Amino acid sequence: MKTTRKVIAVILSLVMSFSAFGAVTAFAVTESAAAADAEAYNAVARDYSDVMGSVSKEKATDYADDLNGLLLKIFEKVDLKSVIYTDQVATTIIRALGELLNNSIVNTMDASGIQENYPEAYEYLFVTCGGGSWDAVDNSQVKWGITPGDREAFAKAIGYGSTNFGSLVIFAGSLGAFFGQEDVYSNGLAPLVESLHVGKMDAFSTAMALGNAGIMEYIANKVCDAIDALIADPVNYVTDVLPDLARTYPASVTSINTFASSLGASISLPDFNGLVAMLGEKIGLALPEIDVETLAGMGTASVVESGSAGGYRTQINGDKAVVFMAVVNYVKETLSVKDNQYALGRLIVEKTGYASTETYDSMVAAAKDDDTLLFISNLLGLVEEAAGNIGADESLSGFAQFLAKILEFFAKIQKFFVDLLLRLTR
């Protein structure tokens, strides 16, 4: 659980930091310009036969729905919101934002605001640690008073804990406006956060009025909207969002780094594959590079309202079947690397018990043989076993174990039909 929380926190802190620095992108445009961009995007003829292989779109959609259903049962049992919305994850995000500035506690947040609203956190950060380097901080010792799963308290703590980062966001947005240019909030932050499909961002003038803590709490709440959407419908959300994020991210990061450099800041954010490599390192896997341009093209474009200066942007909604198969192929490629097999195998054994090693070995073999149908079948089997092991947890009440076994039974029925389809297509 500790490793899971650390990885989640790293991902969220990266999203927060990328969101908090604006950048002029091609997606902050007028309605007519967005319409022309969407029309051009949709007019491109794309061939995804290499991605789909022998799997039809109908079958890929069925597989995606099966996996989505099983993940929902597991998420419900694990209660991911109580894992994510916690003191420790909030601290990890605040710390990451502070480390982007100069690794100093006192330069990350307003001490008086923390003392007034979070006396326990103040006592540890500014008395015990002296408000100095984040290197002296044990994240588990910072107490914000967040009841696990309390999203509102989570976002508020991040807002107060990153006030100085909020002041930089407001400064960056105001700077462009002062010089008569489109502000970086409207043309970097808005499109980037909106690419997570969390609705229209507020205009910069509205967000700026929230103040340093308020604007960071607002950003945190938008990221939480994405988290909640992911938990509520994991596979459908990911397959819908990925192409839009892949299309928006590169231009944003280039502009962010250029803007930071012009201020003499040492911030240098990675490109899309640099981000992937960074996350892979955190979980002990050597993740292969992603063809970002191809991923960005796996959807349908439409015009939506935006918090950008132009008022509109081009939104990409992913083709569920194609994006799902692209993700499956990516996982297969990852598993074909020997070191990754070992690292992931250890994780599976640790989390689900030795009973899952047989399914895992079959997954690796299928990946090596490039057998997509068998890989999907074994993937569903692995999720099924994980659900079964969760239900077998002796720390749960007898009634809870009984309900988990019922869920496992229905998961097995799903697995049966997938295996039947597998045999019929041989």
Of the pLDDT bands very low, low, confident and very high (cuts 50, 70, 90), residue 418 is very low
> Would you say residue 50 lies in a domain?
no
pLDDT at 337: 83
**C-alpha span between 239 and 47 (Å, rounded):** 18
Res. 3: pLDDT tops 50: no
Out of 175-189, 231-245, 250-264, 345-359, least confident range? 345-359
Q: How far is CA 54 from the centre of its chain?
A: 30
> Would you say residue 49 lies in a domain?
no
**C-alpha span between 101 and 265 (Å, rounded):** 8
13 and 145 share a domain? yes
pLDDT at 306: 92
Among residues 236, 244, 240, which one has the least CA distance to residue 318? 240
Domain boundary among 261, 290, 319: 290
Of the pLDDT bands very low, low, confident and very high (cuts 50, 70, 90), residue 83 is confident
Three-class SS of the chain: CHHHHHHHHHHHHHHHHHHHCCCCCCCCECHHHHHHHHHHHHHCCCCCHHHHCCCCHHHHHHHHHHHHHHHHHHHHHHCHHHHHCCHHHHHHHHHHHHHHHCCECCCCCCHHHHHHHCHHHHHHHHHHCCCCEHHHCCHHHCCCCCCCCCHHHHHHHHHHHCHHHHHHHHHHHHHHHHCCCCCHHHHHHHHHHHCCCCCCCCCHHHHHCCHHHHHHHHHHHHHHHHHHHHHHCHHHHHHHHHHHHHHHHHHHHHHHHHHHHHCCCCCCCCCHHHHHHHHHHHHCCCCCCCCHHHHHCCEEEEEEECCCCCCEEEEEEECHHHHHHHHHHHHHHHHCCHHHHHHHHHHHHHHHCHHHHHHHHHHHHHHHHCCHHHHHHHHHHHHHHHHHHHHCCCCCCHHHHHHHHHHHHHHHHHHHHHHHHHHHCC
Report the DSSP beta bridge partners of residue 305: 312
Higher confidence at residue 90 or residue 97? 90
Amino acid (one-letter) located at 384? E
174 and 236 share a domain? yes
pLDDT at 330: 93
In percent, the amount of the chain with pLDDT more than 70 equals: 73
277 and 359 share a domain? no
In percent, the amount of the chain with pLDDT more than 90 equals: 46
269 and 353 share a domain? no
pLDDT at 264: 64
CB hemisphere CA count around 248 (13 angstroms): 28
Q: Please write the tens of the pLDDT for every residue from 95-130.
A: 988 887 778 999 999 999 999 999 999 999 999 999
Higher confidence at residue 282 or residue 98? 98
Of the pLDDT bands very low, low, confident and very high (cuts 50, 70, 90), residue 346 is low
pLDDT at 176: 64
Higher confidence at residue 261 or residue 90? 90
252 and 359 share a domain? no
For range 299-325, the mean pLDDT: 94
The count of domains in the chain is: 2
Among residues 200, 243, 265, which one has the least CA distance to residue 17? 265
Q: Residues in the chain, how many? A: 426
Number of other CB atoms surrounding residue 160 within 10 Å: 24
126 and 246 share a domain? yes
> pTM of whole model > 0.75?
yes
pLDDT at 405: 53
276 and 405 share a domain? no
pLDDT at 87: 95
> Would you say residue 34 lies in a domain?
no
Number of other CB atoms surrounding residue 338 within 10 Å: 10
> Would you say residue 44 lies in a domain?
no
Q: Please write the tens of the pLDDT for every residue from 194-208.
A: 999 999 999 888 999
17 and 133 share a domain? yes
For range 219-224, the mean pLDDT: 96
Res. 327: pLDDT tops 90: yes
**C-alpha span between 26 and 249 (Å, rounded):** 11
> Would you say residue 131 lies in a domain?
yes
350 and 215 share a domain? no
285 and 351 share a domain? no
Res. 135: pLDDT tops 70: yes
pLDDT at 424: 44
285 and 343 share a domain? no
Domain boundary among 290, 313, 346: 290
> Would you say residue 227 lies in a domain?
yes
> Would you say residue 67 lies in a domain?
no
Its domain, for residue 285, covers 2-25+80-290
133 and 194 share a domain? yes
Give me the chain's average pLDDT, please: 81
Q: Please write the tens of the pLDDT for every residue from 7-63.
A: 455 445 545 554 544 433 344 478 999 999 999 999 999 999 999 999 999 999 999
Q: Please write the tens of the pLDDT for every residue from 237-262.
A: 999 999 999 999 887 777 667 766 66
> Would you say residue 103 lies in a domain?
yes
Res. 403: pLDDT tops 70: no
